[in-house]
């Protein structure tokens, strides 16, 4: 795994100039289907927003026609009308919130589903270069951030815009001069708020990226907990986590500081407006030019005005936060796989596996340099050589996790790059040294080899791989959960489950990547027995460091520094007295082999 910041460095941190385009894509791809509900929500927002204007308007007759006249007649009707307005506002607010949040959650889960499906279709190289924590943060963190910010912004935009318009109408009806006085300072906010929006977008994106690094650190801690404990690295890893927490906290506070600036500036302007209207309007009331009811209606509308105005000012910050997450989401959705099936795939059948002058490099580092060999159909071919010689790369090329820079990899005369990927991979089963088990039952992990397999087929595969030897001693048998990454099973047990999965798949080509390298003698014996059963009648390629496990192979290929330097049977290679013979002698002497 490369550094956890690799994914972040692949993409620019500057705000995308295509923000409107991205919002349009989001609407077309995920939201437009909910337009009838959106219409209902807008109607409810309008009712909720207009209610405060109606309330402010009712204040004038309450003061001028009743309180100033010293009469209580009709107060009950006014009180009833005002209470009705607030009840209607409450019902409308409840309804529109329920609709908007519901749509937001549906869009969020749809985006998460799309992201996971997209990730599963990308090349293996993508996952080698990008940490799981960063990808998890894309799927969970960014979508939830988008949903929260966008839902709040949409609700505020609809409701508070109507509220603002209704209150401004009441204010202009009361006195247009007072209205201009109250709002005279607002144009002064335009430039500072534009500057603030750019800051919010940048700081929010930085906070999301810091959250991704934090998730990556957690992922690495939890996956590497055994190594951490064995090597007494608890304090070291805790310090690294603290460093990431501090980075996240710093960026998150900067983002929140920017979002808090909008309503703060509105409050400053509100104070100026209140003072101006109080002096100017008060003088008119004293002179008898205006009534107390007019002033109270205006002042009520003005008092209520600045709360939705603050929220509307904050919408810009919320939209910037949403756009930062949206940019990050669409950036990964733009990444496309490079290893795909050809438009017109050729048929592929089991047969000889042939590598013909294959070259491959990881970046600028060459791994294979003209590798050529043939693995005969139905026979066992072993690959040996030092670590880094390119043996595992051979397997990755055969399964098309990667493609060669030059040369061809063929099965029965058909190049792997000319075949349908699904057909190719259905022909291959593999068992590696790092067994991939999921937090499901033993039976479910075996069934991953063939999802339509019957319970009887699963059990037969389990018996052939000696899985039932330990599974039947467990309270729930094959129905026992194996825990995260198969952690409740021993290494040998995990390997046998993986072998059972390969048996169930019953593919004609079998790849074995040092499947017994980390096992004790008894576990190795059981696993080797299961592997022997599995390899019968199949074209088998096996990587092994312990030569004792591949002495009976039909062909042994010795690879060093990306080249085939020897090939033949065990006896032929011993007789040649070359690299393989030296390797065999060192192992026989109990020494660490070096080619």
pLDDT (tens digit per residue) in 6-35: 444 343 334 445 677 777 888 888 888 888
pLDDT of amino acid 416: 93
CA–CA distance, 564 with 378 (Å, rounded to integer): 22
| Residue-level pLDDT at 344 | 92
What is the length of the chain?
595
pLDDT in tens, 46-71: 888 888 777 777 776 666 655 555 55
pLDDT of residue 72: 53
Domain 6-333 and domain 340-427+510-515+539-595 have a common topology: no
| pLDDT digits 0-9 by tens, 425-470 | 889 988 877 777 888 888 988 988 888 889 999 998 888 888 888 8
pTM above 0.85, yes or no: no
pLDDT in tens, 99-124: 888 888 888 888 888 888 888 888 88
pLDDT band at 406 (very low <50, low <70, confident <90, very high): very high
pLDDT at 7: 44
Mean pLDDT of 502-526: 78
Long-range contacts of 470-475 (CB under 8 A, 24+ apart): 470/496, 471/442
pLDDT tens sequence across 538-590? 898 988 877 777 888 889 999 988 899 989 988 888 888 888 888 878 777 66
pLDDT at 286: 61
Confidence of residue 40 (pLDDT cuts 50, 70, 90): very high
* pLDDT tens, residue by residue, 186-217: 665 555 655 666 666 667 777 767 777 777 77
Residue 530 has pLDDT above 70, yes or no: yes
Q: Are 227 and 190 in contact (CB under 8 A)?
A: no
Sign of the dihedral through C-alpha 284, 288, 290, 293: positive
CA distance 448 to 361: 32
Question: Looking at the domain that runs over 428-506, which CATH code has it been given?
Answer: 3.40.50.300
At residue 247, the pLDDT reads 78
- The topology under which CATH files domain 340-427+510-515+539-595 is Rossmann fold (3.40.50)
Instruction: Compute the distance between CA of residue 344 and CA of residue 99 in angstroms, rounded to an integer.
Output: 47
Is the pLDDT at 131 greater than 90, yes or no? no
Could you report the per-residue pLDDT of 317-350, keeping only the tens digit for each? Answer: 667 777 777 888 888 888 888 888 898 999 988 8
- The sign of the torsion formed by the CA atoms of 122, 123, 124, 125 equals negative
| pLDDT number for residue 217 | 75
Instruction: Report the CATH number of the 6-333 domain.
Output: 1.20.1560.10
Strand ranges (DSSP E) for 204-323? none
Give the CA radius of gyration of the chain.
35
Phi and psi at 589, nearest 5°, equal: -85, 0
* pLDDT value, residue 423: 92
Most confident of 17-26, 161-170, 400-409: 400-409
The answer to whether 41 and 96 are in contact (CB under 8 A) is yes
Question: Is 385 in a helix, a strand, or coil?
Answer: coil
pLDDT range class, residue 407, cuts 50, 70, 90 = very high
Contacts of 4 (CB under 8 A, 6+ apart): 131, 133, 134, 213, 216, 217, 220
Q: What is the mean pLDDT of the chain?
A: 78
Q: Which helix (H) or strand (E) holds 41?
A: helix 35-61
In the chain, domain spans: 6-333, 340-427+510-515+539-595, 428-506
Report the alpha-carbon distance of residue 520 to residue 515 in Å, rounded.
Answer: 12
Highest-scoring range by mean pLDDT, 305-319, 502-516, 559-573: 559-573
Q: What's the rounded Cα separation, in Å, for the pair 427 and 424?
A: 5
Q: At 74, give phi and psi (nearest 5°).
A: 90, -5
Q: Across 9-13, 259-263, 265-269, 570-574, which has the greatest mean pLDDT?
A: 570-574
Share of the chain above pLDDT 70, in %: 75
More confident residue, 373 or 276: 373
Residue 1's pLDDT is 38
Give the separation between CA 277 and CA 280, rounded to whole angstroms.
5
Helix (H, G, I), strand (E, B) or coil at 31: helix
Residues sharing a CB contact under 8 Å with residue 376, sequence separation 6 or more, in sequence order: 352, 539, 554, 555
> What distance in Å separates the CA atoms of residue 499 and residue 534, rounded to the nearest whole number?
7
C-alpha to C-alpha distance for 151 and 157, rounded to whole angstroms: 10
In the numeric block, the tokens 């192979």 are attached to: 553
According to the model, what pLDDT value does residue 373 have?
92
């Amino acid at each position: 795994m490369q550094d956890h910041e690799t994914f972040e460095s692949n993409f620019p941190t500057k705000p995308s100039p295509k923000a409107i385009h991205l919002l349009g894509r989001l609407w077309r791809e995920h939201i437009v289907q909910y337009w009838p509900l959106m219409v209902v929500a807008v109607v409810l927002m309008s009712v909720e927003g207009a209610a405060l204007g109606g309330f402010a308007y009712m204040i004038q007759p309450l003061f001028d026609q009743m309180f100033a006249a010293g009469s209580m007649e009709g107060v009950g009707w006014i009180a009833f009308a005002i209470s009705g307005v607030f009840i209607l506002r409450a019902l409308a607010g409840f309804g529109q919130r329920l609709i908007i949040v519901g749509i937001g959650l549906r869009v969020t889960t749809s985006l998460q589903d799309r992201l996971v499906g997209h990730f599963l279709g990308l090349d293996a190289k993508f996952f080698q270069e990008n940490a799981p924590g960063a990808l998890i943060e894309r799927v969970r963190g960014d979508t939830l951030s988008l949903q929260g910010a966008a839902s709040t912004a949409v609700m505020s935009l609809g409701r508070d815009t109507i509220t603002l318009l209704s209150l401004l109408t009441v204010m202009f009806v009361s006195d247009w001069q007072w209205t201009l006085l109250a709002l005279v300072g607002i144009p002064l906010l335009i430039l500072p708020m534009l500057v603030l929006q750019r800051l919010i977008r940048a700081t929010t994106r930085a906070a999301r990226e810091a959250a991704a690094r934090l998730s990556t650190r957690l992922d690495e801690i939890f996956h590497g907990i055994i190594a951490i404990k064995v090597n007494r690295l608890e304090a070291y890893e805790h310090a690294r986590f603290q460093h990431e927490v501090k980075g996240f906290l710093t960026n998150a506070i900067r983002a929140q500081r920017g979002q808090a600036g909008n309503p703060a500036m509105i409050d400053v302007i509100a104070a100026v407006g209140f003072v101006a209207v109080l002096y100017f309007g008060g003088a008119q009331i004293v002179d008898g030019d205006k009534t107390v009811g007019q002033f109270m209606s205006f002042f009520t509308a003005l008092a209520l005005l600045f709360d939705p105005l603050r929220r509307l000012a904050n919408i810009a910050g919320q939209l910037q936060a949403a756009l930062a997450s949206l940019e990050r989401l669409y950036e990964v959705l733009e990444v496309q796989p490079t290893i795909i099936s050809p438009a017109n795939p050729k048929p592929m059948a089991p047969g000889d596996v042939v590598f013909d002058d294959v070259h491959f490099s990881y970046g600028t580092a060459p791994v294979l340099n003209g590798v050529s060999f043939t693995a005969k159909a139905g026979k066992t071919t072993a690959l040996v050589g030092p670590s880094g010689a390119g043996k595992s790369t051979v397997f990755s090329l055969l399964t098309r996790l990667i493609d060669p820079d030059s040369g061809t990899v063929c099965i029965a005369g058909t190049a792997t790059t000319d075949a349908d990927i699904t057909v190719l991979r259905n022909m291959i089963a593999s068992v590696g040294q790092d067994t991939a088990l999921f937090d499901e039952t033993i039976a479910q992990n075996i069934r991953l080899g063939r999802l339509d397999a019957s319970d009887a087929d699963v059990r037969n595969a389990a018996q052939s791989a000696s899985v039932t030897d330990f599974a039947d001693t467990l309270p729930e048998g094959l129905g026992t959960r194996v825990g995260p990454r198969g952690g409740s099973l021993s290494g040998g047990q995990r390997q046998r489950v993986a072998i059972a999965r390969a048996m169930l798949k019953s593919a004609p080509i079998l790849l074995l990547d040092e499947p017994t390298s980390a096992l004790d003698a008894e576990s190795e014996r059981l696993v080797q027995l299961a592997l022997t059963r599995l390899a019968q009648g199949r074209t088998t390629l096996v990587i092994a460091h312990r030569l004792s496990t591949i002495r009976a192979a039909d062909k042994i290929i010795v690879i060093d520094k990306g080249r085939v330097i020897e090939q033949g049977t065990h006896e032929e290679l011993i007789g040649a007295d070359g690299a393989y013979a030296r390797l065999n002698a060192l192992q026989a002497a109990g020494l660490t082999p070096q080619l």
